[in-house]
Amino acid sequence: MSSTEVARTAVGILGNIIALFLFLSPVPTFISIWKKGSVEQYSPVPYLATFINCMVWVLYGLPMVHPHSTLVVTINGTGFVIELVYLILFIVFSNRGNRLRVIMIALVEIIFVAIVALLTLTMVHTTDRRSMIVGTICILFNIMMYASPLSVMKMVIRTKSVEYMPFFLSLAAFGNGIAWTTYALIRFDLFITVPNGLGTLFAAAQLTLYAMFYKSTKRQLAERKQGKVEMDLAQVVVTAEPMDKAQNGGGGGVHEVRRT
């Protein structure tokens, strides 16, 4: 094995490790969803985008499509299972409208990838052409995966809060983009270089927003907590007032009886 292949394999293994952290980074978010029993304002878009992205990359990495891409298959196969678990949790803790929407989109994604796989493997007969067709599709969905938090970024800019933009997801996406771009450049692979290069830029933009609005988010959360405490205190005061009046009224009655 040449030094180039050794380096590419080493970077690919590192990319697998970082990508695993990327797939696992939403775990704190889903623990919070589990405890609250609601997805609140969290968007299913990043998980749906990653779900189909993993499926098309597994297809791309198959020996009959793009030989010598075992590391691509292993990490994206793992990611597919992890994202499926996230989507199930999202469905369980969503309202009825959101639940049906997520189920329908996930089913459409599965059917789409199945059709692409069937047509590619039966109608295209060389690995070069299969790689080109599936690789082009992979570029599109990989860019979609990295760009999926753009809707959340818009909300961050509007509200000046990063509460619903998970930091570790953005950080892992940044590291993942750098690792896989390096992997693709060692033995040039256009289909891996383009989406991961763009993904690195998208993730860097998310981290920049996080740095910009981190303090304002802390301030908003503190104000919200303080407002809740004041509301609870006000409720205690309101509840106590009728009790005081009842006690004062009862005392007056006893006093009048004694006068008689």
Confidence (pTM): 0.69
Say whether pLDDT at 105 is over 80.
yes
The model's confidence at residue 51, banded by pLDDT at 50, 70 and 90, is very high
Per-residue confidence (pLDDT) for residue 228, from 0 to 100: 61
The model's confidence at residue 55, banded by pLDDT at 50, 70 and 90, is very high
Residues 114-136: tens digit of each pLDDT: 999 999 999 998 999 999 999 99
The model's confidence at residue 260, banded by pLDDT at 50, 70 and 90, is very low
Residues 74-97: tens digit of each pLDDT: 999 999 999 999 999 999 998 888
Say whether pLDDT at 39 is over 80.
yes
Q: What is the DSSP string of the chain?
A: --HHHHHHHHHHHHHHHHHHHHHHTTHHHHHHHHHHTS-TT--SHHHHHHHHHHHHHHHHHSTTTSSS-HHHHHHHHHHHHHHHHHHHHHHHTS-HHHHHHHHHHHHHHHHHHHHHHHHHHHH--SHHHHHHHHHHHHHHHHHHHHHTTHHHHHHHHHHT--TTS-HHHHHHHHHHHHHHHHHHHHTT-HHHHHHHHHHHHHHHHHHHHHHHHHHHHHHHHHHHHHHHHHHHHHHHHHHHHHHHHHHHHHHHHHHHHHH-
Domain boundaries, the chain: 3-219
Residues 131-152: tens digit of each pLDDT: 999 999 988 888 777 776 677 7
